[in-house]
Amino acid sequence: MLGQPKPGETIELQDALHMFGGDGKTIKATQGGKFSPHEEIPRYLKLHKSGALPVDDLITHRVRLEDINEALDLLRAGKAARVLIDFSPMKPTLLESYKNMLLLRVAEEELVQLYLDKKIFSMVHFYVGQEAVGVGVCSQLELKDKVLSTHRSHGHYLAKGGNLKRMVCETIGRSNGAARGKGGSMHMIDKSVNFIGSTPLLGSAIPLAAGVAFAEKYNNKGGVVVGFMGDGASEEGVVYETYNLASLYELPLLLVIENNSWSVNSNVVNRRGKKYDIATIVKGFGLPYLRADGNDFKDVSAKAATLLKGIRAGGGPAVLECMTYRHMAHSTPLMDDKNNLRREDTLDRRLERDSLKRMRKEVLESGVSEEWLDELEEKTRVEVREAIEFANASPYPQKEEMFTDVLYA
Amino acid sequence: MPERIIKYTDAIREATDQVMAKDESVYVIGLGIPQGAAGTTNGLKKKYPERVLDTPTSEASITGLAVGSAVAGLHPIVHHDRVEFSLLAADQIFTQAAKWNYMFGGGGPVPVIFRIVVGRQWGNGPQHSQALYALFGSVPGLRVVIPSSPAMAKGLLISAARDKNPVVIMESRWLYGIKEEVPAEMYEVPLDKARIVQEGSDLTVVGYGDALYTARQALALLGEAAPRVELIDLVSINPIDHETIHASIKKTGRLLTVDTTNGAFSVGSEIIAKAAQHRVGFVDAPRSIAAPDVPCPTPPSLSEHWYPTKVTIANAMLEMLGKPPVDVKLSFEELHLPPSTTL
């Protein structure tokens, strides 16, 4: 017999005298005590690892820190054996999200320099301008939630908590990279933070994200999956298919359309019929749809939170469209007003809509000083430059690695 | 041990049932799968209601969903009833599943099985009877196998369900009705090894899928008069087991390849090219038999000239050994109706 009775509980043992009457059998109550942490904890860990001590099986409930009173009620009612308190899902503060957006921006500004110095031999699609979308959505995710992304992946990767050094190493093709240097800028992955991968074929990541969500539901893991795509990708047939498929299987999936109005160099007005209305389309598939100002962190995070709440409650997939602005050309760090691709696009207009500038204003209004923010930017730049130094000193993949990983070994 | 003679489709169904019973991560997805998919999934929906899924008519997204779920640790079996439909999901098969582990520098297993039905069926014509073997064989990152018999179909599916990579199983619809003794228990067949069906000293014949079947029928047709052929079932076209083929040619000095699809860029061409480059010691020029490089026509009066038959193959074998051809007229049934032979 093993267990912990609730207070006041009695145990009835039929035929106890008969069962324990001879052979030195006894009944003994035990309790904790006489514990030497530096010896016992490693021993228990070892036993757990070997499978001899399956304490996971004792966990009957998992609750978030803010719901700790519910956990205590469960214990009092004798309904729980062990309740695991999950500390991870604390939502980041506004300042933390600003720091995250700043990291995305500074990291890319430094990558621009590397690109111009011809140190990057990988297609690079810069995320500058769209930071509020990635950070806004990811600020509402828990560690267990999963993200899939596109060719414009650095932002989503860092917003989900991906490792900065591994991102820079991957972009310049070093073996310390996220994909051991074999993928390049478009192929970010960090399984430790549930960044499942990024894949640049337009719309391809969307059914893949549905598949990850399918597995999440199949295995009852309780996480939500986010698939990011641009407005160009959102026009791919497979995306329309996935709205229906995800709805049919009621998947825990949030699809985020980052509408920067450009598919490479084609403007959205030249790509869609006059009456095209994505809201009507998505709603026609039976999915909840919200549109956010993608340059406003607060609007993105609030609307993501609303949709995620419904998804977590088992309401099935939803779509969030974020109207945002891509500062640079489709690929490469060029400004399009300089190469005549987007003539109406000027530095003034970019800054007017800049999500980071807007976020900085919000943070200042919350009481942080200009000096402190300047210092933060400086510190962030140092951190990024250190990552670049680390990357520059990292080895290239060896020739033999061309032949590895074709199949999973 | 009682004999268990079962059909190709039953062998697939049995293998699917057994891997599903053994491994909870396996599920089956495809249009019409709960209704049986030509007998290959009969009754599975009842046994595993949550793991046998009907789908929208949306090949790209259901294939992508399967690939994504494989990345996340499940082991889907995706069914495409015709290779032409699988092309709507080409991005997910060739560019996502096949590249995933490589492009992420060992990003992890993608254990997905694509069961793709290919080839011959009467009256199906240019858009419903392609095989496109070479297309699938040419993409690194996929394993591609072609079962030539019921026992092979079962063993290869079980191996695929235990593999960590995307495995394309190209099932020849023409063979769905053939029968063979198939062990009841679970067993594996290697996914990357050719199989010597019959040893011989004078001529190496390489086939796969329904081509291998037809080559066997050619040998049966010739009976005692058949040349001493070493018959190789290629089993896998990605990778191709050149080693086994070259070892055989070293012994026989002669090579005949058989494809039941267009000859241009065919599996046979690939085999002959590699053998030539390796100077394996031909005593005579190698030869390939394949369909002409035109689309497969629909009417029987044309399609009977499109597919290589057991007579074409038998006469090629004889000619390569300097023997006179046989003159056999095939019946309409033999030419146009799928076989129900017991191997």
CB pairs under 8 A between A and B: 142
Alpha carbon dihedral A396, A398, A402, A405, in 10-degree steps, equals: -90
Q: What is the pLDDT of residue A33?
A: 63
Using a CB–CB cutoff of 8 Å, tell me whether B168 touches chain A.
Answer: no
The yes-or-no verdict on residue A20 having pLDDT over 80 is no
Nearest Cα of chain A lies from the Cα of B192 at a distance, in angstroms, of: 12
Q: What is the pLDDT of residue B121?
A: 92
Q: What is the pLDDT of residue A38?
A: 86
**Would the CB atoms of B92 and A199 count as touching at under 8 Å?**
no
Greater model confidence, A328 or B12 = B12
What pLDDT band is residue A328 in, cutting at 50, 70 and 90? Answer: confident
Task: Please write the tens of the pLDDT for every residue from B70-81.
Answer: 999 999 999 999
Q: Write down the residue that tokens 């959205």 correspond to.
A: A268
Cβ atoms of A291 and A279 within 8 Å: the answer is: yes
Give the count of alpha carbons within 13 A of A288, CB side only: 20
Of A58-62, A332-336, B88-92, the one with minimum mean pLDDT is: A332-336
Q: Is B125 left (phi over 0), alpha (psi -120 to 50) or beta?
A: left
* Mean pLDDT score across all residues of chain B: 96
Greatest mean pLDDT among A326-330, A336-340, B94-98, B125-129 lies in: B94-98
Catalytic residue among B59, B171, B180, B270: B59
Greater model confidence, A77 or A389 = A389
What pLDDT band is residue A49 in, cutting at 50, 70 and 90? Answer: confident
Report the chain B residue with the minimal C-alpha distance to residue A181: B105
**Chain A from 120 to 149: CB within 8 A of any B CB:** 146, 148
Q: What is the pLDDT of residue A336?
A: 63
ipTM of predicted complex = 0.95
Task: Please write the tens of the pLDDT for every residue from B230-280.
Answer: 999 999 999 999 999 999 999 999 999 999 999 999 999 999 999 999 988
- Give the Cβ contact number of residue B39 at 10 Å: 15
DSSP B165: S
The yes-or-no verdict on residue A32 having pLDDT over 80 is no
Instruction: Report the residue from A197, A218, A401 with minimal CB separation from B107.
Output: A197
State the DSSP H helix or E strand holding residue B276, giving kind and residue range, or none if neither: helix B267-277
Q: Is B84 an annotated catalytic residue?
A: no
**Would the CB atoms of B95 and A204 count as touching at under 8 Å?**
yes
**Would the CB atoms of B66 and A211 count as touching at under 8 Å?**
yes
Nearest Cα of chain A lies from the Cα of B111 at a distance, in angstroms, of: 9
Q: Which residues of B touch A408 (CB under 8 A)?
A: 101, 106, 108-110, 164-165
Which tokens sit at B323?
A: 């023997």
The yes-or-no verdict on residue A89 having pLDDT over 60 is no
Q: Which residues of B touch A209 (CB under 8 A)?
A: 68
Using CA atoms, how far apart are residues B183 and A318, in angstroms rounded to an integer? 48
Using CA atoms, how far apart are residues B276 and A342, in angstroms rounded to an integer? 56
What single-letter amino acid sits at A74? L
Mean pLDDT, range A101-110, rounded to an integer: 96
What pLDDT band is residue B175 in, cutting at 50, 70 and 90? Answer: very high
What single-letter amino acid sits at B97? A
Mean pLDDT, range A380-391, rounded to an integer: 97
Task: Please write the tens of the pLDDT for every residue from A212-229.
Answer: 999 999 999 999 999 999
Which tokens sit at A64?
A: 């978030």
Interface probe for A, chosen from B87, B94, B95, B102 (most Cβ of A below 10 Å), is: B102
Q: What is the pLDDT of residue A65?
A: 78
Report helix, strand or coil for B154.
Answer: helix
Q: Which residues of A touch B238 (CB under 8 A)?
A: none
Nearest Cα of chain A lies from the Cα of B26 at a distance, in angstroms, of: 11
**Chain B from 126 to 155: CB within 8 A of any A CB:** 140-141, 143
The yes-or-no verdict on residue B33 having pLDDT over 80 is yes
Share of chain A above pLDDT 90, in %: 65
pTM, to two decimals? 0.88
Instruction: Report the residue from A215, A219, A407 with minimal CB separation from B101.
Output: A407
* Mean pLDDT score across all residues of chain A: 90
Greater model confidence, A112 or A91 = A112
**Would the CB atoms of A405 and B101 count as touching at under 8 Å?**
yes
Greater model confidence, A351 or A21 = A351
Greatest mean pLDDT among A24-33, A124-133, B86-95 lies in: B86-95
Q: Which residues of A touch B139 (CB under 8 A)?
A: none
Mean pLDDT, range B29-52, rounded to an integer: 95
Which CATH code fits A94-392?
A: 3.40.50.970
Task: Please write the tens of the pLDDT for every residue from A236-278.
Answer: 999 999 999 999 999 999 999 999 988 988 889 999 999 999 9
Q: What is the pLDDT of residue A229?
A: 98
Domain segments of chain A as ranges: 2-86, 94-392
**Chain B from 2 to 61: CB within 8 A of any A CB:** 27, 53, 55-56, 58, 60-61
Mean pLDDT, range A198-218, rounded to an integer: 97
Q: Which residues of B touch A206 (CB under 8 A)?
A: 61, 64
Nearest one of B85, B68, B98 to A255, comparing CA atoms? B68
Which tokens sit at B5?
A: 């003679």
Q: Is B128 an annotated catalytic residue?
A: yes
**Would the CB atoms of A212 and B91 count as touching at under 8 Å?**
no
Nearest one of B37, B85, B84, B87 to B57, comparing CA atoms? B85
Q: What is the pLDDT of residue A321?
A: 98
The yes-or-no verdict on residue B215 having pLDDT over 60 is yes
